[in-house]
Structures are given as structure tokens and as C-alpha cells.
Structure 1
Amino acid sequence: MNFTATNTVIIQGITEPLGACYAPLMQAYGTTVVAGISSGNGGRSLAGIPVFDMVEQALSSVGAIDTSVIFSPPYAALDAALEAIAAGVRTIILVSQGVPPLDMVHLIRKAEATETLIVGPNSPGIIVPHQLLLGIHPPELYKPGSVGILSRNGTLTYEVAWSLSQAGIGQSIAVSIGDDAIVGSTLPQWLQMLDEDDQTDAIVLVGEIGGDSEELAAHYIAEAIDKPVIAYIAGRSAPRGRRMGHAGAIIESQATDFGPDIGTAESKITALKRAGVPVAERPSEIPEIVRKLLKHPLKKVS
């Protein structure tokens, strides 16, 4: 895992409302934003960031690019991501919400073939406190430290970070994989990266109802993760059988290989506890659990 202030970053969709708002904020935070991409707006600049029509044109001007943050409209996100991959960009943050599922299937296949990391869609991105902002996290809620936050949610990521910061516990990184129905990278992928990260001593996993991501993560934690993991699951009081606000937070499961309760808060909490992961009932409980685990790490459940 290599997310530092030295990463060179482009912003695709820089003239979109969110892109125009967050590009200067990312730059002010210390992110090395070398170019923006917006078809038809080449030759302009935004907050001192040169704007190009195509990624290929930016490459010839600014050199190699590590990361692209995409603010393009959902139906243009696939083309933007494929253009970045073709230019050799190997980390892509999809802030765009509502990317068509078939577009995501196409993108994931291309990402797997090219070893490209996709975060999102419908994600606030990644933040390394006081070093790097890739997306729309509110930086004032974070402080540097050794706790990695891994989440499916956006605003809950901020709330957990703020609770930790208020308790004097800093964060090594915070990443939301996004909560559209189909996302690029998975909880187990990120658990492995955080487990191997020298700057991270403990992991806070923030999940929510819908799908089987947390159940799969619980199994992976029991099998492969050595660092302490703490979890919080949102949606305990949600009514059964009702679709919630997030596209990915759908209670009812279509998978025949799992029981009828898959996707519910109870299913996820049970799976995590079975893996030896303490589960907080509310975000405010997380800092104290983190303190206890860092003093007395739990043994991995076999």
C-alpha cells in the first residue's frame, strides 16, 4: 500500500460541480494534483491546476500519473476509468454515484486484467491524515495515527474518525469502498492491505446492512488477519424486507447459498463475533475498544 503526498494525481471531471469544489481542497491538503481532465475545456486552469481534454494529453505534459479521482457523471464514469487505465493509471477513485451495474462489471474485469485498484463508485475516497486526500473526506475530522478505518459507508466513516480523533486516537488511513450495488474493491482486499501496512496497528471495520460483504470479511479475518479488528454495523433497527437508501444496503438476499437472514445486522454481527471481532453497539464505543485491544491484542480465532 503506497498512498503518500508524493503520489501524482489527476482529477477527471474537474469542471463538474463536485470536481470544481474538491480539486482545490485536495490540492490545499497537500495532494499532488498535477492535472484535471474535462473534454472541451482543455487549455483552461482551475485553482492553478492545468486542464486537458484527454488523459493522454496530460501524460505528455506532466509525466507519469499514479492515481485518478473521477467526478464524471455516472454514465461517463466507465469511459473515464478505461481512459485512465489505458494511460497506465493503476489506482482509480470513483466518487461518481449510480454507475450502471453492467458498466461496473466491465470495469472490474478490465481492472483485474491490468492489476488496477478501483475504489468506489459512490465513495468519498481515501484520506491519509495530514498527507493525502483522494476524494471528499472532510479533513478536519481526522488526525494522524495508527488506526485504519475501512468502511462501506461515507458519513459513518467521518463519524467514526471524529470519535477516534476526539479520544486522541489518530488514523493511518480511512477508505470507503463505496455503497453502490457493485463496487470495485472488496473488504477482504483492503483488510489484507491494512494487515500488511506498517503504519496501521489496528483496523476499524464499518459495515451496514445488505449483501454479504461483512460475512465474507469476518471469514477472512478469522483465516488471515493478525492485527486487531473492531467492527460497527449500521442498520440494527432497520425493518426487515425493506430497501434502504443506499443502493448497496438491500436487506433481502438473492443468494441461495446463504440462510434467510443473510444481509441483516444480526447475521453480520454474529459472523464477526464468531471470528473474534468485538462489535460496538454505537460509534462512540469504538475508541475505548480500540484502546483495550491495542493494550491486549486478541488472539486470532482459528
Structure 2
Amino acid sequence: MSILLDSTTRVIVQGITGREGQYHTRNMIAAGTNIVGGTTPGKGGQTVEGAPVFDTVSQAKAATDANASCIFVPPAGAADAIAEAATNGIELIVCITEGIPVIDMTRAMLVVREHGARLIGPNCPGMCAPGKGKIGIIPYQIFTPGPVGFISRSGTLTYEVVSLLTEAGIGQSTCIGIGGDPIIGSTFVDYLKLFENDPDTQAVVMCGEIGGSDEEDAAEYIKTMSKPVVAFVSGRTAPPGKRMGHAGAIISGNTGTAQGKVAALQAANVPVADTIFDIPGLVKKVL
């Protein structure tokens, strides 16, 4: 079993006719994802990889009964694309776009919450349910089905750690890259709750990084979980006040430091890996 995505999920791609939209639509289909259509204003009536193209999400929803969307729309229009999906009843929205203005995302999140949608991202690699499909740009070939849930703020860390788990013979139930922007749709806690209630997830790996308080919030929730969690926090050598990669990776005073996050996780009895190469061994111990 997986969370959020399975063979019954009906996915549309917003921005399907663009270069990235076409390329990743092809890869999602190859991974087994049920792509039922896509949208690009003014391109309705075309097809991409056999999927019909519509001008609007409203048209796509009416024709395909889609319940999930993957967004490949440039930053200037991506927040509007998120709001359009939520307004038209799309339950799961995965936004890959990086560089969306914060004020635009603030407005989009009001719409997402108003309509009860779940947003993964923006500035994320998406998600994968090994054996069932993927939504986003995650390289599907590194995954293998198994009992470990995976959540990360970093796309690159997602690829690296999942590859290490697979090489160690540890399969994954669902993997989610939540995104590295200051404003994202869902947090570590949101997915920890889903994994806690998923009967086929036996343990969770959580990869955090400097900036914000998401990892500290997760540590508090983990204290209530019945399933073990293994963690890693990147950016331990980052100087205060400097942005390291992601827009949300900013340390302000004593807030958002790697050391503070590690301490909070350890206080919740979470094994914290010193390097990503230690993660498979720690997972085997908790399993």
C-alpha cells in the first residue's frame, strides 16, 4: 500500500505541451502513472503521449474526472495554476516549479486551504509510489517497493538516499519531496501522520535541512508515533544568515540551525545519521 498515489489516481499535467511537461509526462507514463490528460491555454485539442490536451483544468476535470495534477508552469503563472487546480476539485496537486514569488504563493495557499486540496511543493521533485507510479521528476528507476516511507526537503537528497536504501535491499512504500521554498503546501508532520496510519509502512526516513522549524515540529509529533523514524539534517557547516541552496534554507539567529534540529530529533529518540551513508544501517536497526 502507498499513500496519496496508486493505480486508481487520475493525473493531469498542467503545462503538458512545454518541453519539460512533455518529457516528464513520457517518464511518468513509463513509470505506470495513470496520465489522463493535460492543459495548456490555447492548445486544447492536441495530444501529448496519447493524452488529450485541454485549455483549462475545468475542461480537463469534466472530461477525465482527474483527481491529481502535476504542474510544469513557469514561475509567473504557477501560483495561478495551483489555484486553478484547487478551485476545480483537484485533490492532490504537485508543483515542480521553482522561483514562485512568495506573495503569489501566499495567495495560492489561501485557495488550496479553502478547497481542501493537498499541495506537494512548490520547488520539489514530486513523489513516487514504487510499483504504482510517480508524479513529478523523480527518477523512477532508483526505487523498489518495500516498507519504508521517505520524506525530504531536498530533491537531490531524495535521489541519493533512496538509491542507497535500494542498494542496501531496503524498499520504499512512498517517497515525497516536500520542497525547499519558504512557503510550501505540506509539512513533514502532514506526511508523518499519513505514514503512521499506513499499514504497509513500517518505518520512516526523514531528510531535513537548515532553515525554518519544520524539523522541530516533526520531532514533537514523532514523540506520539508508534513507528520508528530515522533522520538526517543537511547543512551542519552552513554559516548563520547565509542561504544555502533552497530559498527556505535561511538561518536567523538561533532559529533553523542544523544543531538545533538534530537536538530536537534526538530528544524525540530519533536516530540521526551523521552522513547519508549511515542511513541504511540505522534503518535496518529500527526495522
Task: Give me the TM-score of the superposition, normalised by structure 1.
Answer: 0.92
Alignment partner of 1:282 out of 271, 275, 279: 275
Rounded Cα–Cα distance in structure 2 between residues aligned with 1:83 and 1:165: 37
Q: Which residue of 1 aligns with 2:232?
A: 232
Matches within 5 A, 1:13-24: 13-24=15-26
C-alpha contact 2:202 2:227 (8 A) present in aligned 1 = yes
Deviation at 1:225, TM superposition (A): 1.6
- Of 249, 262, 278, 1:269 maps to 262
Offset, 1:65: 1.0
What does the per-residue CA deviation read over 1:182-219, in whole Å, with 9 as the maximum and x for residues that have no partner? 10111111111111111211000000111111111111
C-alpha distance in structure 1 between counterparts of 2:111 and 2:206, whole Å: 27
SS at match of 2:173: strand
For normalisation by structure 2, the TM-score amounts to 0.96
Distance 1:87 1:242 in 2: 39
The CA deviation string for residues 223-252 of structure 1, in whole angstroms up to 9 with x for no partner, is x22110000011112223322221011122
| Contact 2:87 2:115 survives alignment (8 Å) | no
Q: Distance in 2 between matches of 1:9 and 1:207?
A: 28
Cα separation, 2, equivalents of 1:2 and 1:13: 22
Identity %: 45
Select between 234-243 and 34-43 the one with higher mean Cα deviation. 234-243
Q: Which runs of 5+ in 1 are unaligned?
A: 253-259, 295-302
Structure 2 unaligned blocks of 5 or more = none
Pairing 1:217-228 to 2, within 5 Å after superposition: 217-222=218-223, 224-228=224-228
> Counterparts of 1:284 and 1:8 in 2: how far apart (Å)?
36
1:290, distance to aligned residue in structure 2 (A): 0.7
CA contact (8 A) 1:104 1:184 kept: no
- Look up the match of 2:51: 49
Cα distance in 2 for residues equivalent to 1:120 and 1:246: 12
CA offsets per residue over residues 42-71 of structure 1, 9 Å max, x none? 111111111111112223322x11101001
CA–CA distance in structure 1, aligned partners of residues 112 and 203 of structure 2: 28
2: CA distance, partners of 1:205 / 1:2: 17
Instruction: State the one-letter code of the partner of 1:167.
Output: A
- Is 2:3 aligned against 1:10? no
CA distance in structure 1 between the aligned counterparts of 2:119 and 2:164, rounded to whole angstroms: 28
- Report the AA paired with residue 142 of structure 2: L
| Alpha-carbon distance in structure 2 between the residues aligned to 1:103 and 1:14 | 22
Q: Secondary structure, in 3 states, of the residue corresponding to 2:205?
A: strand
Question: 11-20 vs 161-170, which deviates more?
Answer: 11-20
Query: In the comparison of the two structures, how many residue pairs are matched?
Result: 285
Equivalences for 1:1-302 in 2 at 5 Å?
1-62=3-64, 64-222=65-223, 224-252=224-252, 260-294=253-287
Letter in 1 for 2:242: R
Partner of 1:89: helix, strand, or coil?
A: coil
CA contact (8 A) 2:209 2:235 kept: yes
State the superposition RMSD in angstroms: 1.1
- Matched letter for residue 274 of structure 1: A
Q: What amino acid is the match of 2:270?
A: V
SS at match of 1:82: helix
